Structure 1
Amino acid sequence: MAKVSKNLPKKSDQAVRIDIGISEKDRAAVAHELSKLLADSYTLYLTTHNFHWNVTGPLFNTLHQMFMTQYTEEWNALDEIAERIRALGHYAPGSYKQYADLASISTPENVPDATEMIHTLVLGNEAVAKTARAALKRGEAANDAPTVDLLTRRLDIHEKNAWMLRSLLA
């Protein structure tokens, strides 16, 4: 009969303890910050997609395409953020109520004109960048390199999106 290492869990154990070099307390703190980022990101995704569907005016084609590029990128990022939360041993939020409770941004109640859409998306991207920056500090403090990498990429994208959108308002 093969020997079983003392470090391996027994078959009767409910779950395998996470031991990735980050304490449970730090993993919980990072996951909480990432959950706020996920909520803000989902809210921004939903707003951007809504504007893609409903934009009108002389810049219709330009904005329709730009919004589609941005919401598609944002949609793909949602999965990456949620999966990082799961890798840290926590459940990712996934309901509108959870997102409303965690998000720092809200969705507009009415369909604004194109200029207001652009302005709203500038503010939304900046808000997501601020949320990512707060999470980045928590990830750095926990020496969580994968989270830091993810957040650095998210910051780059949202700061660039805000700049591009802001340029349309000049």
Structure 2
Amino acid sequence: MTEAHTARSPELPVESGLSHDGREALCQKLADNLAGTYVLYHKTQTYHWNVTGPLFYSVHKLTDKQYKDLAKAIDAIAERIRALGFPAPAGLKNIYQSSAIDDPTGVPEAGAMLRELALDHQHLAGKMRDTVEKAEEIGDTFTADFVTERIGTHEEFAWMLNALAVGDDRGSAPGQASA
């Protein structure tokens, strides 16, 4: 491998009033959020491509909107890490290992896709709450607000996915028994 392929993005000097150690701890949480968002992006797009059956159109349209939003979020989270002075995560192996979201291993039926994606959004929103707490702890109001907005987006996406899953008569929504 050439040096260009193995070079690591340097830590950047930041004199914003936030401590180095605080920024570093926050960036680790952001990197974990980025990893989860990246895997959820991939899973959402995979399900978007492969959905079939009576829910095809609804799921295809909804996941299209969601994976495009997730792609923008990935970039925004990585850029926030860089703005705080640290390198953004690199390497798919590292990203998958750091993700709280499981990589898809197959293509379930539409209702199962919806329920799985909804749970993933809820789980990621929960992880992001830890990031907001860390940002507030070190006095980084911008990152706290930014991540809080992402939490709202994930919760809204989970609601939409769950609402559509309830209409799928081949499975039950989270917390409901099958008929």
Aligned to 1:6: none
Aligned to 1:11: none
Aligned to 1:89: 85
Shift of 1:56: 0.3
Give the conservation status (yes or no) of the 8 Å contact 2:96–2:103.
Answer: no
Aligned to 1:100: 96
Shift of 1:18: 1.6
The 1-side partners of 2:46 and 2:12 are apart by: 42
Shift of 1:15: 8.3
Q: Which moved more, 1:127-136 or 1:65-74?
A: 127-136
Residue 174 of structure 2 is aligned to residue 161 of structure 1:
no
The 1-side partners of 2:94 and 2:49 are apart by: 25
Amino acid at match of 2:159: W
Amino acid at match of 2:55: L
TM-score, length-scaled by structure 1: 0.89
CA distance 1:90–1:45, change in 2 (3 Å): same
CA distance 1:71–1:88, change in 2 (3 Å): same
TM-score, length-scaled by structure 2: 0.84
Secondary structure of the corresponding residue to residue 116 of structure 1 = helix
Larger radius of gyration between Structure 1 and Structure 2: 1
Amino acid at match of 2:110: A
Aligned to 2:171: none
Residue 110 of structure 2 is aligned to residue 114 of structure 1:
yes
The 1-side partners of 2:164 and 2:130 are apart by: 28
Shift of 1:30: 0.5
Shift of 1:100: 1.6
Unaligned runs of 5+ in 2: 1-9, 167-179
> Could you list the per-position Cα deviations for residues 102-122 of structure 1 after superposition, in whole angstroms to 9, with x for gaps in the alignment?
111112211111011001101
The 1-side partners of 2:128 and 2:17 are apart by: 22
Residue 14 of structure 2 is aligned to residue 31 of structure 1:
no
> Could you list the per-position Cα deviations for residues 36-60 of structure 1 after superposition, in whole angstroms to 9, with x for gaps in the alignment?
0000000000000000000000111
User: For residues 33-72 of structure 1, what are the structure 2 equivalents within 5 Å?
Assistant: 33-72=29-68
Residue 124 of structure 2 is aligned to residue 124 of structure 1:
no
> Could you list the per-position Cα deviations for residues 74-100 of structure 1 after superposition, in whole angstroms to 9, with x for gaps in the alignment?
101111000000011111113211112
Residue 71 of structure 2 is aligned to residue 75 of structure 1:
yes
Q: Which moved more, 1:16-25 or 1:53-62?
A: 16-25
What's the Cα RMSD here? 1.4
